[in-house]
């Protein structure tokens, strides 16, 4: 299994976790993103995820490298699922191991925020009353200056 | 040929994920973006899309050459 993976199959959380456990890890922090039914008064029936797969895997790997630079003993594994997902299905699983707990929490949070900025994955909401491609959830719908903050060439 | 990849709302509007464009000499990403819309029609939101050249983010002024893959990346929504 790859450390940084885009998968069309359901995610096995334990597989992602097992990849970061090693003898000098003292903490593993895990983030699991799942499909939510209600967003405000909109009801989701299902979600469709699409990715630019080879680039998305490269960008996930880049996030892993950024984490290693910020928290040198950290080890990261990320799997993101694409295709059609139902309510409560797991869309993304991130596991980060570090020697101590504090860094594991911080690094895991960092990983999910970066996914939402730089990884070419898109989500189409199928609501009970229509459908739409969702733009950047970090705030703006477009990138007026050409690129979002902290996207490097 | 320059290979163009479209995703999400851009692919939906174009009715395809892949478009090929022949370029005589090298062109900038911005020129490719104009040529693309001459071929498939106006794509709403493409000005706000990031661009990747051979799977790396680039600027509009970067040069594209024959055989390259240019992907237009609308605001992402993974996670």
With respect to residue B79, please indicate whether it lies within any of the assigned structural domains.
Answer: no
Determine the distance in angstroms separating the CA of B2 from the nearest CA of chain A, rounded to an integer.
17
**Structure confidence by residue, pLDDT tens digits, A97-125:** 999 999 999 999 999 999 999 999 999 99
For chain A, the structural domain boundaries read: 4-129
With respect to residue B78, please indicate whether it lies within any of the assigned structural domains.
Answer: no
Residues in Cβ contact with A140 at an 8 Å cutoff, skipping those fewer than 6 apart: A148, B75
Contact indicator for A67, A96 with CB cutoff of 8 Å: yes
Determine the distance in angstroms separating the CA of B37 from the nearest CA of chain A, rounded to an integer.
19
**Structure confidence by residue, pLDDT tens digits, A76-103:** 999 999 999 999 999 999 999 999 999 9
CB < 8 Å from A in window 60-79 of B = 60, 71, 73-79
Residue B24 — pLDDT band, cuts 50, 70, 90? confident
Contact B79 A33 (CB under 8 A): yes
The β-bridge partners of A37 are: none
Contact indicator for A80, A5 with CB cutoff of 8 Å: yes
ipTM for the assembly:
0.96
CA separation (Å) from A43 to A40, A134, B66?
8, 14, 46
**Structure confidence by residue, pLDDT tens digits, B32-44:** 999 999 999 999 9
Pick the CATH number of A4-129 from 3.90.1170.40, 3.40.50.300, 3.40.50.2000, 3.90.1170.50: 3.90.1170.40
* pLDDT value of residue A140: 42
* pLDDT value of residue B25: 84
Q: Percentage of chain B with pLDDT > 70?
A: 100
* pLDDT value of residue A128: 95
Rounded Cα–Cα distance for residues A20 and A29 (Å): 10
Whether the CB of B9 is below 8 Å from some CB of chain A: the reply is yes
Q: Percentage of chain A with pLDDT > 70?
A: 89
Quick one: CA torsion of A15, A17, A22, A24, rounded to 10 degrees? 180
Task: Write out the E strands in A17-139.
Answer: 27-34, 38-39, 42-51, 75-81, 83-86, 90-98, 121-127, 130-133
């Amino acid at each position: 299994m790859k450390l940084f993976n885009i998968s069309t199959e359901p995610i096995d959380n334990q597989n992602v976790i097992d990849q970061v456990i090693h003898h000098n890890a003292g903490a593993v922090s895990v983030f699991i993103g799942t499909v939510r039914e209600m967003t405000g008064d909109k009801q989701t029936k299902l979600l469709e995820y699409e990715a630019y797969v080879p680039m998305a895997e490269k960008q996930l790997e880049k996030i892993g490298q950024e984490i290693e630079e910020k928290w040198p003993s950290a080890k990261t594994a990320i799997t993101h699922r694409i295709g059609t997902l139902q309510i409560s299905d797991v869309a993304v699983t991130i596991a980060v191991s570090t020697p101590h707990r504090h860094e594991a929490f911080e690094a895991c949070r960092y990983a999910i925020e970066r996914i939402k900025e730089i990884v070419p994955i898109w989500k189409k909401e199928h609501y009970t009353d229509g459908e739409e491609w969702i733009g950047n959830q970090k705030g703006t719908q477009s990138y007026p200056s050409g690129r979002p903050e902290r996207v490097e060439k | 040929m320059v290979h163009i990849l479209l995703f999400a709302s851009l692919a939906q509007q174009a009715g395809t994920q892949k478009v090929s464009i022949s370029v005589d000499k090298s062109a900038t990403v911005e020129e490719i973006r104009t040529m693309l819309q001459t071929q498939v029609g106006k794509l709403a939101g493409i000005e706000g899309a990031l661009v990747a050249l051979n799977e790396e983010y680039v600027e509009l002024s970067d040069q594209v050459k024959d055989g390259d893959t240019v992907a237009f990346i609308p605001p992402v929504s993974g996670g």
